[in-house]
Amino acid sequence: MHIKNSSMKTILEITNQTTKERNDMLLEAFFFWAGKFTTTKTQYQIVICSKPIQNWFFTEYAKLENEFIVFVNRHSGGSVKEDNTLYNRMMLKIYSIYPKVLLDDIKKKYNGIPMHNLN
């Protein structure tokens, strides 16, 4: 789901990250996100192991990154530090969204284990 225009900078070029650094950051974001919407260790484990939730999270994250890439490529000229600050601010949106249907399915499957912040 990443932009494939060869004239556009990639996320790694813009943020000056290695692939490993980016992958580590994505996993950290996912784990933090999962912790925000669960209240017990069991819920947390169920959520982070759920392939549909993983797919949802990384798809939504990619959408936000694509918005960032388009913005930075249209408004080039910022320093790496400024771009990283903007990146961090834009990626914060991920922590305010969640897949209610998928989390509801998990609650049903695991006997109504309550999920946090879903009202």
Say what percent of the chain tops pLDDT 90. Answer: 64
Q: Is the pLDDT of residue 1 over 50?
A: no
Domain assignment of residue 12, yes or no: no
Domain assignment of residue 42, yes or no: yes
Distance CA(55)–CA(65), nearest Å, equals 15
Q: How many domains does the chain have?
A: 1
Domain assignment of residue 71, yes or no: yes
Domain assignment of residue 119, yes or no: no
- DSSP state, residue 7: T
Q: Please, what's the largest Cα pairwise distance for the chain?
A: 53
Host domain of residue 95: 17-109
pLDDT tens sequence across 24-34: 999 999 999 99
Do the beta carbons of residue 47 and residue 106 sit within 8 Å? yes
Domain assignment of residue 1, yes or no: no
